[in-house]
């Protein structure tokens, strides 16, 4: 069970227990029917008001958590992009160095072949 589910279950349990306990207390109190109905209505309104208050608080906290998550995700995306850019630059540098070495090697081989051809022509 996740922490979120546990918190939700706990809140529902507390509110249900408070409502049932309040109603039972009112039913056992020595009052007239009119007073009892008024007290039940007042307690019901109190419970509804408290539930709405708790709901709004949970809604605000949820929104805050979502916003923090979005900010963290944005930070991670930016960090990943920066790392990818750095890796791309390093790869481009390695490719450029490899091309430069290949060109130098090609020139060296071309010079060696030319020297070999020139030597062959001189001896022939």
**pLDDT tens figures, 43-83:** 888 888 888 888 888 888 888 999 999 999 999 999 999 99
pTM summary value: 0.47
CA distances from 69 to 63, 81, 112 (A): 10, 18, 63
- Looking up tokens 């279950």, which residue turns up? 9
Domain count, the chain: 1
Q: What residue numbers bound the domain in which 67 lies?
A: 3-123
């Amino acid at each position: 069970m996740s922490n979120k589910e546990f918190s939700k279950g706990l809140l529902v349990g507390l509110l249900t227990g408070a409502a049932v306990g309040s109603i039972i207390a009112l039913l056992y109190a020595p009052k007239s029917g009119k007073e009892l109905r008024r007290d039940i209505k007042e307690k019901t309104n109190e419970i509804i008001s408290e539930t709405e208050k708790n709901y709004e608080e949970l809604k605000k906290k949820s929104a805050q958590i979502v916003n923090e998550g979005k900010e963290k995700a944005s930070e991670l995306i930016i960090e990943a992009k920066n790392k990818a850019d750095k890796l791309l630059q390093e790869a481009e540098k390695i490719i450029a160095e490899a091309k430069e070495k290949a060109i130098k090697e090609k020139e060296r081989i071309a010079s060696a072949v030319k020297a070999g051809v020139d030597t062959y022509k001189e001896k022939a």
